[in-house]
Structure 1
Amino acid sequence: MAGFKFEVFPAVELNITLGILVTVDNRNYGSSKYQNATAYISYRGEVVAEAPIADDTIPARGKHNISTTMNLIPDKFVKNPYFLADAVGTGILNFTSTTTLHGKVSLFKLVKMKGTSFCTCDISIFVMPKTVNSVCKAKFTL
């Protein structure tokens, strides 16, 4: 945990900052340079966390680590009327993350094109066994 903030006055507020690491496996023959972006995490349609993504380059046919911090605002999902039923009743909290990266693709350093990558992940947190499952779908357009 990178940071923790708890305030009681003027209103109860709780913010948590988590350090995260995402590994991208680029199986393509082209490298991709992307601009600064933000990943959003939603719980039942409401954004409950944001993670800034700094501009960088993903090499062709390689793996690339992206480090960032996620600013989680628990108040937003704890106040959701479904939170207790999900956390206690089913024991599963379902989140969705969305990220859009704009940038340029370079193929063999000869061909350069603008492109956009869209990624959506369905994240399930199982409360009692304390496990997480995620399924991601990515799409790239030129």
Structure 2
Amino acid sequence: MAALNRKRRNICIAVLLSLIVLVILILILAFTVFKPKQPTITVDSVSLLDLNISLNAARFGVDLNLTLIVQLTVENPNKVAFQHSDGTAVVSYRGEEVAEAPIPSGRLSPDGTEKMNLTLTMMADRLLAKSELFSDVIAGELPISTFARLAGKMTVIGVFKIRVVALSSCDLTIDIRNRSVEDQRCEYRTKL
């Protein structure tokens, strides 16, 4: 009887030690190999698809239609998938949002990359209140900014859910005379 109790006790100790080693191994993997890295959203290029300008010198007004093509790359450097919800890309002129395009939700595989092309058309009615527009058009340069935001989550080992927000912003200038995008400066951030 004592030998049977000792055998049961040894089996329980072995099972308990095995579980402890397994939990430690899972934690080590979760914080090393599966440690979350920051997904990035990068603006590869911004190009001018359409630009129509007409000046009304009598009222110092400008009628402006502008369409941009923004090429984005979303990269997931993690060993787990990145599931992202709908995002947005925005164009602003001197702090005023003038165009917006949705970024559809999706799933990036581990170590995956996804390229996106977004078309952003400036809404001329939102520019009417900006007194600087007339002088910017006369000067031949239109300063604008783009901003893209993508929020999502990663699930590590099916247990740990980590929320991530990838952000990208670019300041650029539209050269009205050459009908081109000039002087593009971008910044990329991620929040874990």
**Structure 1 length as normaliser, TM-score?**
0.71
Relative distance call for 1:109 and 1:78 in structure 2 (3 A) is same
Q: Does 1:140 align with 2:190?
A: yes
Q: Report the equivalent of 1:7.
A: none
Q: 1:52 aligns with which of 97, 102, 110?
A: 102
CA distance in structure 2 between the partners assigned to 1:131 and 1:139 by the alignment:
27
1:23/1:63 contact within 8 Å kept: no
2:69/2:119 contact within 8 Å kept: yes
Q: Does 1:95 align with 2:144?
A: yes
Q: Secondary structure at the match of 1:128?
A: coil
Q: 1:127 aligns with which of 155, 173, 176?
A: 176
Q: Report the equivalent of 1:38.
A: 88
Q: Percent identity?
A: 23
Q: Report the equivalent of 1:76.
A: 126
CA distance in structure 1 between the partners assigned to 2:86 and 2:76 by the alignment:
22
Q: Secondary structure at the match of 1:40?
A: strand
Deviates more, 1:102-111 or 1:48-57: 102-111
Which structure dedicates a bigger proportion of its chain to strand?
Answer: 1
Count of aligned pairs between the two proteins:
129
CA distance in structure 1 between the partners assigned to 2:69 and 2:90 by the alignment:
13
Give unpaired runs (5+ residues) of structure 1.
2-13
Shift in Å, 1:62:
4.4
Runs of 4+ residues deviating >6 angstroms: 14-17, 107-111
Shift in Å, 1:98:
1.8
Which structure dedicates a bigger proportion of its chain to helix?
Answer: 2
Which one has the largest radius of gyration?
Answer: 2
Q: Report the equivalent of 1:105.
A: 154
Q: Report the equivalent of 2:57.
A: none
1:48/1:77 contact within 8 Å kept: yes
**Structure 2 length as normaliser, TM-score?**
0.55
2:68/2:121 contact within 8 Å kept: no
2:147/2:168 contact within 8 Å kept: yes
CA distance in structure 2 between the partners assigned to 1:140 and 1:104 by the alignment:
12
CA distance in structure 2 between the partners assigned to 1:98 and 1:82 by the alignment:
21
> What is the Cα-based RMSD across aligned positions, in Å?
3.1
Shift in Å, 1:26:
2.2
Q: Secondary structure at the match of 2:154?
A: strand
1:16/1:72 contact within 8 Å kept: yes
2:141/2:176 contact within 8 Å kept: yes
Q: Secondary structure at the match of 2:147?
A: strand
Q: 1:114 aligns with which of 159, 163, 177?
A: 163
Relative distance call for 1:32 and 1:22 in structure 2 (3 A) is farther
2:76/2:112 contact within 8 Å kept: yes
Relative distance call for 1:137 and 1:115 in structure 2 (3 A) is same
